[in-house]
């Protein structure tokens, strides 16, 4: 296994959505005894992320009261209706250049494993002198979450406009995207509805 101790990786947990289809904040869903956001932060740390930043939205007060975010930096998106990209940009702009890369992780993707995060960071470490700047886990030919971005490559994300998605940066810079295979189908799963939450819990042990 490659040594990633010299790589400063920050996780950016996106938790500013209104959880409309779930009916309650997804960050606070019980995940085998702890709030989902605590699980995501712990998994990121176990996978090699040495810094944590959480982007919250309208439910910020309740999430801060209901979950222990440890030493994570917390920023609040003043207008999460602008879409997930607005939270990605907010999280990226709060990183400094002592951070090598950031792992952008929607809070509703709890089935990602520490090994998936480590594989992304290891791949980045091996290829940091190459042209590859975005690293994405792939299972059965499908791309999932989270994505790792070289911090020096955040400008294309910062330039995204209203209505754009992160996929635009990925598509526009496809020659700089490295796919990282994983046997974990959980990188493809997100939890938007009570039914998806129930299914994810059953698969999450």
CATH code, domain with 26 = 3.90.550.10
Tell whether the model's pLDDT for residue 100 goes beyond 60: yes
| 100 alpha carbon, distance to own chain's centre | 15
What size, in residues, is the chain? 205
Residue 180 placed within a domain: yes
Mapping DSSP to helix (H, G, I), strand (E, B) and coil, where does residue 198 land? helix
* Total structural domains within the chain: 1
Q: What pLDDT score does 4 carry?
A: 79
Residue 2 placed within a domain: no
Q: What pLDDT score does 1 carry?
A: 45
Residue 105 placed within a domain: yes
Residue 3 placed within a domain: no
How crowded is residue 158: how many other Cβ atoms within 10 Å of its Cβ?
Answer: 12
Write out pLDDT tens, residues 166-194. 999 999 999 999 999 999 999 999 999 99
Q: What pLDDT score does 91 carry?
A: 97
Pair 51, 105: CB distance under 8 Å: no
Q: What pLDDT score does 2 carry?
A: 61
CA angle 100, 44, 71 (to 5 degrees): 85
Q: What pLDDT score does 149 carry?
A: 98
Domain that holds residue 48: 9-203
Whether the ω angle into residue 146 lies within 30 degrees of 0, i.e. cis, is yes
Residue 1 placed within a domain: no
Q: What pLDDT score does 188 carry?
A: 97
**Average pLDDT, rounded, for the chain:** 94
**What does the alpha-carbon distance between residue 55 and residue 50 come to, in Å, rounded to a whole number?**
17
Return the axis-axis angle of helices 114-127 and 36-46, rounded to nearest 10°. Answer: 40
Q: Give 133's DSSP letter.
A: -
How crowded is residue 17: how many other Cβ atoms within 10 Å of its Cβ?
Answer: 26
Residue 135 placed within a domain: yes
Buried-exposed string 111-131: b where 16+ CB fall within 10 A, e elsewhere? bbbebbbbbbbbbbbeeeeee
Mean pLDDT over 8-32 rounds to 93
Tell whether the model's pLDDT for residue 45 goes beyond 50: yes
Which stretches of 94-189 are DSSP H helices? 114-127, 155-158, 166-172
Helices (H) and strands (E) in the chain, counts: 7, 10
Residue 132 placed within a domain: yes
Q: What confidence tier does 162 reach under pLDDT thresholds 50, 70, 90?
A: confident
Tell whether the model's pLDDT for residue 205 goes beyond 80: no
Residue 103 placed within a domain: yes
């Amino acid at each position: 296994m490659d040594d990633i101790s010299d790589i400063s990786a920050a996780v950016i947990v996106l938790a500013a959505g209104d959880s409309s289809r779930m009916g309650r904040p997804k960050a606070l869903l019980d995940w085998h005894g702890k709030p989902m956001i605590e699980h995501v932060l712990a998994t990121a740390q176990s996978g090699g992320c040495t810094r944590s930043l959480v982007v919250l939205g309208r439910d910020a007060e309740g999430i801060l009261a209901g979950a222990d975010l440890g030493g994570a930096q917390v920023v609040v998106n003043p207008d999460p209706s602008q879409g997930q990209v607005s939270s990605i940009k907010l999280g990226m702009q709060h990183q400094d250049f002592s951070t090598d890369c950031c792992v952008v992780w929607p809070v509703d993707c709890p089935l990602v494993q520490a090994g998936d995060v480590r594989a992304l960071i290891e791949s980045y470490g091996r290829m940091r002198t190459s042209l590859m700047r975005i690293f994405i886990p792939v299972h059965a030919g499908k791309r999932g979450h989270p994505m790792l971005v070289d911090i020096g490559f955040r400008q294309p994300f910062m330039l995204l406009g209203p209505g754009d998605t992160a996929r635009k940066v990925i598509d526009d810079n496809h020659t700089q995207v490295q796919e990282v295979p994983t046997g974990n189908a959980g990188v493809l799963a997100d939890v938007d509805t009570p039914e998806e939450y129930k299914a994810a819990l059953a698969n999450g042990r």
